[in-house]
Structure 1
């Protein structure tokens, strides 16, 4: 009754930046009508949206481009300009919260948010060959984030032996009556 195709592509640019592109397309195998909005032929895109995010080596968004080749409602394109609020943000921990802060609710578009959520994974896959320990000696950010990359697992032991059984430094505990500072992200 419905097909959604989502595709991500990642590119390393000549200028040292990275482009990550996401594309979403919704179709139905039968004619489809939204009263007062329009009708679509079988397999004609109801949604066809594109995002290109340009990142630097620290995963900071340097540019973002959005296109809506097909959308079902006249106000849909109004969700594109707020996407520029993501410029300067970092793809990493807290990414979904960052998206919701800038584009949540009626500020943005459900479909563009969905593309952005998983665009981060495509960015990490695109840049996987460049993941090295950070300058301060901390492990790459993907370690400790899934079963395969567990600090005490065989993959980390083989690929990143220097971080096998690594433990993050302990955060200072708040004293009785003090409020612990909130972490960003």
Structure 2
């Protein structure tokens, strides 16, 4: 179903973001993200330059190489178009993400290593959603490995909630699942 009709308006800005996932011949996985900002009219930043209509103001790419457990093995960054000369040095801090896991705590790991003035807002935005793209790429490797541990995507959204009809159909053993509580110590 389409969005409802909008009020009369004029396009002012376009941000395009895309992700692709690739299985590598060496058994690793490449997840690539691309962010491109354009404006439909010429755009000027005093002291920096002028971008023509539809010329990228931001044109950035990230390739993250992960193993089947979503642990980052390598990261590559390209900033083909940026509005400020101070932007390209933000590529180097991205290497701090090597060794991080694209799973629980992913956004926290990004903020700790690249947050605020430690990195680039646009590169962080690309990284945030790369975990979802990685998961979608590697889902066949997330089969049930332990009978008492649900797959990592369960309990992460409304459709995959432990009380949902989808979980009841696809993972009946985890329908209405509750994590086991650690044993309570009875030491004096």
Q: Same fold (TM over 0.5)?
A: yes
Q: Provide, for residues 103-153 of structure 1, a one-character-per-residue CA deviation record: whole Å limited to 9, x for no partner.
A: 001110000000001111111111122222244741111101111111122
Residue 38, structure 1, aligned to residue 52, structure 2: no
The CA distance in 2 between the partners of 1:156 and 1:23, in whole Å, is 33
Aligned counterpart, 1:143: 154
Residue 110, structure 1, aligned to residue 121, structure 2: yes
Does structure 2 conserve the Cα–Cα contact (< 8 Å) formed by 1:47 and 1:70? yes
The CA distance in 1 between the partners of 2:34 and 2:59, in whole Å, is 7
Aligned counterpart, 1:166: 177
Aligned counterpart, 2:136: 125
Residue 153, structure 1, aligned to residue 164, structure 2: yes
Aligned counterpart, 1:94: 105
- Residue 173 of structure 1: CA displacement? 6.4
Once superposed, which parts of structure 1, at least 4 consecutive aligned residues long, lie more than 2 Å away? Answer: 133-137, 171-175
Give ranges in structure 1 of 5+ residues lacking alignment: 176-185
The CA distance in 2 between the partners of 1:21 and 1:107, in whole Å, is 22
Aligned counterpart, 1:4: 15
The CA distance in 2 between the partners of 1:172 and 1:21, in whole Å, is 43
Q: Provide, for residues 8-60 of structure 1, a one-character-per-residue CA deviation record: whole Å limited to 9, x for no partner.
A: 00111121111100000000000111000011110000000000001101110
Correspondent of 1:65 among 72, 76, 96: 76
Aligned counterpart, 2:64: 53
The CA distance in 1 between the partners of 2:184 and 2:78, in whole Å, is 47
Q: Which moved more, 1:122-131 or 1:108-117?
A: 122-131
Supply the RMSD in Å over aligned alpha carbons.
1.6
The CA distance in 2 between the partners of 1:107 and 1:85, in whole Å, is 11
Count of aligned pairs between the two proteins: 175
3-state SS of paired residue (1:79): helix
The CA distance in 1 between the partners of 2:91 and 2:145, in whole Å, is 34
Q: Which moved more, 1:102-111 or 1:162-171?
A: 162-171
Give ranges in structure 2 of 5+ residues lacking alignment: 1-11
The CA distance in 2 between the partners of 1:80 and 1:37, in whole Å, is 20
3-state SS of paired residue (1:127): helix
3-state SS of paired residue (1:14): coil
